[in-house]
Amino acid sequence: MQRFIKKSLFFGIFLVMSIGLQVGAQAQTTDYKFHSVFIYNFTKYIQWPAEQQAGDFVIGVLGNSSISEDLEKMAMNKTVGTQKIVVKKFKSAAEAGTCHILFIPNNSNVSFDDIQHKFKGKPTLLITEKTGLAQKGSGINFVLQDNKWKFELNEAATQSAGLKVSKELSKLAITV
């Protein structure tokens, strides 16, 4: 029953984002509340390797992005399983340490190739918001289509990172 409630909540949030939320292109750089909700919900539908399921659950943000504030607010009262969520900000790919999720904002001046190289083969979900990055290897990429938020899923990228994506999440995504 609890699993059904969680699925219903996720699908409800998805519907709000994809159907009811009409946003302008500027919203992608100024309002990250929905991105934060989705990032948290991704943690419920993606499984990290067993050795990553202890200690803190680290969500990294590359560069200076206002999403950090929304993620920190969310992390104050949420967990991933039994793991406390910790949000860390990184100035560069080299500085980015071990994290479960790394969010790379659209305004990041770091080369995506450098990021991919650093995290290749590591159990880190790379989440981006720039056209074409899902095809280049981002696990999840937020896109604005027809003034509605959607997300692309690169299953090959998530599998190569050792992550298991649920079929429910795959059904909601634009697969690349």
| Mean pLDDT for the stretch of residues 94-113 | 89
Percent of the chain at pLDDT exceeding 70:
82
Average pLDDT of the chain? 86
pLDDT in tens, 121-153: 999 999 999 999 999 999 999 998 888 889 999
**The domain that contains 33 carries what CATH number?**
3.40.50
User: Are the beta carbons of 26 and 144 closer than 8 angstroms?
Assistant: no
Q: What is the pLDDT of residue 28?
A: 42
Look-up: residue for tokens 């795959």? 170
Taking only the tens place, the pLDDT of each residue in 27-41 is 444 468 889 999 999
Indicate the range of 94-98, 117-121, 133-137 predicted with least confidence. Answer: 94-98
| Domain count along the chain | 1
CA distances 90 to 52, 65, 107, Å, are: 20, 10, 14
Give the per-residue pLDDT at 80. Answer: 97
Domain carrying residue 127:
2-175
pLDDT, tens only, 51-85: 999 999 999 999 888 999 999 999 999 999 999 99
What is the pLDDT averaged over residues 88-115? 90
